[in-house]
Structure 1
């Protein structure tokens, strides 16, 4: 519902019917929800924000979260059995571009967001030295790479032109909604604004891990100068990933 008696535009005013393509609500398998109870709480609060469809994306990261079909499937069914309300919940994964990723890619059996859209991420310290080659291999395998939170990779903040290069290579960009605030720092927020203004962002997601993230999204006030662009990105996200 719009806040008619306020000049402020809240993010949640734009999220009615939203398809969240990036979150960590599957319990106990990464740095997201630690228990079924926490997962249920996050889902409840996310529904209050207007989110209607959920694509959980647990990390697949060899050194920290070596998730597999089995671990993701088990967490999904445990959560599904605990739900007392009907929701659309379709698990995927967020793949770290580490040394193990190429072997997974060769199997051709990856957890995609929908169709062939594959959510990938990089280390926050530096990009893989073979990043462009990896993007090429992903596309050669028939997948469409969707780079999670490009605005958070600080090694590109002083090299904004490289974002254009990644787009030219066929990489889609998914912005974290919390990057529209200073949650990750001012430089991330500034880069998020740049990417939105340059129309480089294709999709958005919450990347919710915990209660703090939900609380901040609930109270996030938007900069009205970018709300029209953001509305279009949200619309594109919903149209691309809705299963209804």
Structure 2
């Protein structure tokens, strides 16, 4: 199963049409995927999506899969951007879109660590959620601070690597950090983060890599969702 993708059209920077989404899902099915948790961005000033809007898109995707006899299920999730709006939602215990047994996917700025990162992780956990940090290997503030990675793991923040990072698609530094997370067994989930056909091609390439095979030897938690 896959827990990170952008397959609802026209609500973030992911797929543009239902047909594009259906084609990608069909290819993922052929690769062996049975369940997809699609996770549109929720960023207040750019993609102000809501749980209800995302659930409606997921319902449409499941209808399309049934109509086209594609044996796969789609579930609703979201990729929450850690900003002041999200911090307020967490503080006031607003309805947040989780999946599985309380997992919630979060992302941060790529260059600088949010000052309230640890506080939000703690509050989410206190509210019954299990936060997962999307693609930690891509954040410069983690690439340059391995001690912080260990600290966040110690706090109970789950780590999700993008499959395409294993081949250096995003950058050599991202690939290097992904390898470090694998070597130190600090990876909990592996996911596609698919936005389009180009990403699909990169995933197909990455699953043939030696580093991907090493990932599969780790006690990943994808099957628990």
Report the TM-score when normalising by structure 1. Answer: 0.85
**For 2:32, which of 44, 47, 50 is the aligned residue?**
50
Look up the match of 1:236: 220
**For 1:133, which of 88, 112, 119 is the aligned residue?**
119
Look up the match of 1:158: 144
Look up the match of 1:78: 60
Look up the match of 1:25: 7
For the residue of structure 2 that corresponds to 1:102, the secondary structure is helix
Q: Decide whether the 8 Å contact of 2:33 with 2:72 is kept in 1.
A: no
Q: Decide whether the 8 Å contact of 1:117 with 1:145 is kept in 2.
A: yes
For residues 80 and 172 of structure 1, the distance between their equivalents in structure 2, rounded to whole angstroms, comes to 28
Matched, 1:198 2:184: yes
Matched, 1:64 2:8: no
For residues 101 and 174 of structure 1, the distance between their equivalents in structure 2, rounded to whole angstroms, comes to 20
- Describe how 1:97-176 pairs up with structure 2 within 5 A: 97-105=82-90, 106-176=92-162
Calculate the aligned-residue CA RMSD, in Å: 1.6
Q: Decide whether the 8 Å contact of 1:30 with 1:58 is kept in 2.
A: yes
Q: Decide whether the 8 Å contact of 1:146 with 1:171 is kept in 2.
A: yes
The runs of 5 or more residues in structure 2 that have no matched partner are none
How many equivalent pairs are there? 220
Q: Decide whether the 8 Å contact of 1:178 with 1:206 is kept in 2.
A: yes
- Identify the structure with bigger relative contact order (alpha carbons < 8 Å, sequence gap 6+): 1
Look up the match of 1:223: 210
Shift of residue 57, structure 1, vs aligned partner? 0.7
For the residue of structure 1 that corresponds to 2:173, the secondary structure is helix
For residues 159 and 99 of structure 2, the distance between their equivalents in structure 1, rounded to whole angstroms, comes to 13
Look up the match of 1:208: 194
Residues 34-80 of structure 1 show CA distances to partners (whole Å, capped at 9, x for unaligned) of 11111101101111221111100111111111100232122222222
Shift of residue 81, structure 1, vs aligned partner? 2.6
The runs of 5 or more residues in structure 1 that have no matched partner are 1-18
Range moving further from structure 2, 118-127 or 189-198: 118-127
Cα–Cα, structure 1 residues 232 and 112, in superposed 2: closer, same or farther, change >3 Å? farther
Residues 12-53 of structure 1 show CA distances to partners (whole Å, capped at 9, x for unaligned) of xxxxxxx10111112221111111111101101111221111
Q: Decide whether the 8 Å contact of 1:146 with 1:173 is kept in 2.
A: yes
**For 2:165, which of 154, 172, 179 is the aligned residue?**
179
Shift of residue 108, structure 1, vs aligned partner? 4.5
